Chains A and B, each alone.
Chain A
């Protein structure tokens, strides 16, 4: 069995674990532990400290693996390991927490240093009527127009599928740039 890997990253409580759970064929493997910091506990009770792991079987020979990174910056040493060999990555951002935008920008800069793989930004929690619009999220994160910023509700499978398909289109476009004769 061969494996392809996509990384799902984003800062704390962005919805990475939900995104993987929503898409995975299998019961996801999570390494969640009780939150210890008071300010983090206000957002969620458990957090991912190593990785989340889900799979989508493409066929009998090939699996697409979804790896979720731990959100807190103090676990950023994991990001480099998880990004090795990835086809592309999804940056999840909580559209109802503008206070997380600066940290998400730092995370995006760090990933750009680690890998040149294609990526998309998923503006999560768009099912909340109070959520910030995708255009505002793009502007605040300074995402260039060449990178899609996609509306996302991580708990909703059709929405999560569109984000993953958006990333696959970016991967296909990168492939076409590299190998135009195969187009």
Chain B
């Protein structure tokens, strides 16, 4: 029982945000090839971390270790729930938002830290619906505040740039930083539903309009304007199925 993947599947900043919001307790192990990292998480707070070479010599500890892991392009990770971590003394004084922000500041291109998001001037943004933890001590610079204040009222990044006068490249970099600490997220675009392909009729035996027993014939109607093979069942029949499922 563990959360497993790679940093291409899920960035380290995302992981730290999930731990904070959970809040979760356990041990995160990252294998980056030449180096191996361990982060201890107690009720969402980072309490200790270490970065080791393959010969087990320690190359960084605590905040510096996490920041260096944030700069990795890829690594396999595994997070195991472990309440015993809560008994460890805390050796990390900064909260995870500060550490993520520091990691983003050290990056040449913070947008590359978001492997599954592509930011452009047409990207629609919104404030994250998940409030950050109350005790966080993240400090935003002036440009971060200016952009953050425009997110609720501007439909996309282009209008944020126009409203603030911040150059697009800098705005994209700043948005990436705000996304990494969980203050801003990309709006999921509304994709019009593709029209289902025409297909052969349903096999014999499956419910089709007009094939029900007399007692249910009134409850079933042919799909009106939908796919010809999608049966529309009557509300009474749906209620009967729901009652049966509730009674399982």
Binding site for B on A (CB under 8 A): 2-5, 23, 56-59, 61-62, 64, 80, 84-87, 96-99, 101-102, 109, 112-117, 128-133, 135-136, 139-140, 142-144, 157, 161, 164-165, 168-169, 171-172, 175-176, 178-179, 182-183
Contact = CB atoms under 8 A, between A and B. Distances in A.
Given A56-B244, A84-B202, A114-B196, 20 more contacts: A5-B206, A87-B230, A96-B1, A98-B5, A99-B5, A99-B9, A116-B193, A116-B195, A116-B226, A128-B81, A129-B81, A130-B24, A131-B3, A161-B245, A168-B242, A168-B245, A171-B238, A172-B242, A175-B232, A179-B235
B196 A128 contact: no
Main secondary structure of the interface of A (DSSP, over half): mixed
A98 B15 CA distance: 11
A161 B246 CA distance: 7
A98 B24 contact: no
A113 B3 contact: no
Size category of the B interface is 35 or more
Interface string B183-222: 0010011110111110111110111100111011000010
B245 A97 contact: no
Contact of B230 (A57, A86, A128): A86
Given A61-B216, A62-B216, A56 B193 contact: no
A132 B1 CA distance: 12
B196 A3 contact: no
Nearest to A116: B196
Contacts of A99: 4-6, 9
A109 B191 CA distance: 10
B233 A87 contact: yes
Given A62-B216, A130-B1, A175 B9 contact: no
Contact of A168 (B130, B215, B238): B238
A115 to B, nearest CB: 5
A4 B81 contact: no
B103 interface: no
B81 A176 contact: no
B169 interface: no
B231 A132 contact: no
A171 B233 contact: yes
B244 A58 contact: yes
A115 B3 contact: no
B142 interface: no
A108 to B, nearest CB: 10
B5 A3 contact: no
B194 A84 contact: no
Given A80-B199, A130-B80, A175-B234, A58 B18 contact: no
A31 B211 CA distance: 29
Interface hub of A58, A128, A140, A179 (most chain B Cβ within 10 A): A58
A96 B10 CA distance: 11
B224 interface: yes
B231 A85 contact: yes
